[in-house]
Amino acid sequence: MAKTGPAACTSAKICFFFSNKSDAGSGRATRLGWMLRPANSGCSLATRWTAAAAAAVEAPARSIDVGFAPVPREQAEMVQSLNGWVAENMLPLLSPVESSWQPHDFLPCSAAPPGASEEEALSAFMEGVAALRAGAAGVPDEVLVCLVGNMVTEEALPSYQSMGNRTEGIADDTGASGLPWAQWLRGWTAEENRHGDLLNRYLYLSGRVDMRQVETTVHHLLRNGMEMLVPKSPYHSVIYGAFQERATFVSHVNTARLAGQHGDQALAKICGVIAADEKRHEAGYTRVSAKLFEVDPDGIVRALAHVMRGKVTMPGLLMSDGRDAESSLFDRFSAVAQRAGVYTARDYGDLVEHFVRRWRVAELAGLSGEGRRAQEYVCGLPPKIRRMEELAHQKAARSELRPARFSWIFGRHVMVG
């Protein structure tokens, strides 16, 4: 995932960006925005969209409960009661291991096949690497930056599995539990694990990036961690998972499209197969969220409103290459993703609109007063976000581009808005 696992963007993983610039360094992110502020403090699209989106989703404090209260026992009991449903409706979305793709399937083989000599194997491997590097040579720096950012976020998978296992009612309490929720979490993790592996190996063989700086960034992100959803709520987690997986799907699809346009068919195929995984994972979290809208509409719509208020952190928010003292690496990465068209403010608006429609939020009935306020708030978000997006683009058209430096590509600069 570029991940929101059950609880993340760009790859990314990417997806919608929630941030509070003033707290970015401490890892605290409590305000909704499509992106964090990029390299400098200039008036960029990403900066303006953050402020605009925050204004669009802001609601009176009394209207939605955003306290850090313990998870209601009823939520944990409800999701636990769905173990049988999970077995029938989510576990089939996981591919059998024997028929699943593996990173090796998309990269040059370094081992000698039966009957081949070491010289023949080495020659074939070098030919494969040469072909891969020839395709990668045409990929522009801005796409490489997005690819690295997504890969770094995917490689922080241990943080995301830990988050899932902190969620009440769905955690794998023993580490090898036979309960369907636990099987889903482990199966999801196993499939996601291939994404970072494949992207990492492609980047290494491509020769286009400074792998030591990329690996240093992964190291920093795993040490820095990510802030989990404060309530440890299963309702929040499955909603977040649906958003994150769909956003990551969009990001990988767009990266595949750009790679193909620039002649790298191998990378296009790699991003496409990862996107297909994200689509299946999105289906799982979307289905279980829809089920909760059936059995506990009041509780889940309030959770959805809470999530949309920004009580969630991007999984890559705390990424660092050790050289970003003056500006946030995640900020610059997000700004490049916006300008390259890998993940944009429009994509975020599409996500919100999709889920409000998919879960039929406007049709919910029998809600409490707080539930009705949450429903009204959520249903009012799509048009507000669209308006803010239009204003942000109008302002961006009048602003000048500026360079953002990335150690991942040997200190070269990429232009951002």
Active site residue 236: no
Active site residue 154: yes
376 is in an annotated binding site: no
Q: What is the 3-state secondary structure (H, E, C) of 334-385?
A: HHHHHHHCCCCHHHHHHHHHHHHHHCCHHHCCCCCHHHHHHHHHHHCHHHHH
Annotate 58-95 with b (16+ C-beta within 10 A) or e (fewer): ebeeebbebeeeebeeebbebbeebbeebeebbeebbe
Active site residue 248: yes
Active site residue 245: yes
- Tell me which of 252, 281, 286, 306 is the catalytic residue: 281
Cβ–Cβ under 8 Å, residues 207 and 136: yes
- Tell me which of 167, 248, 255, 313 is the catalytic residue: 248
Cβ–Cβ under 8 Å, residues 10 and 334: yes
User: Which residues touch 121 (CB under 8 Å, ≥6 apart)?
Assistant: 109, 110, 111, 112, 113
Which residue's entry shows tokens 């063989």?
205
Active site residue 195: yes
Active site residue 118: no
154 is in an annotated binding site: yes
- Tell me which of 141, 277, 324, 331 is the catalytic residue: 277
192 is in an annotated binding site: yes
Pick from 249, 338, 242: nearest CA to 4: 242
189 vs 102: CA distance, rounded Å: 14
Q: Is 19 helix (H, G, I), strand (E, B) or coil?
A: coil
- Tell me which of 168, 245, 298, 347 is the catalytic residue: 245
Q: Is 82 helix (H, G, I), strand (E, B) or coil?
A: coil
- Tell me which of 278, 321, 324, 389 is the catalytic residue: 278
Structure tokens at 138: 């045409």
Chain-centroid distance of CA 283 in Å reads 15
Structure tokens at 1: 């995932």
Which residue's entry shows tokens 């990173």?
103
Per-state percent for the chain, helix, strand, coil, to nearest 5: 60, 0, 35
104 is in an annotated binding site: no
Active site residue 252: no
236 is in an annotated binding site: no
Intra-chain end-to-end CA distance of the chain, in Å: 27
142 is in an annotated binding site: no
Cβ–Cβ under 8 Å, residues 92 and 183: no
| 62-65, long-range: CB < 8 A, 24+ apart | 63/373, 63/374, 63/377, 64/302, 64/305, 64/306, 64/309, 64/370, 64/373, 64/374, 64/377, 65/302, 65/306, 65/370
Active site residue 119: no
- Tell me which of 153, 168, 195, 408 is the catalytic residue: 195
| Binding-site residue set | 154, 192, 195, 245, 278, 281
Which residues carry out catalysis? 101, 154, 192, 195, 245, 248, 277-278, 281
| Binding-site residue set for Fe cation | 154, 192, 195, 245, 278, 281
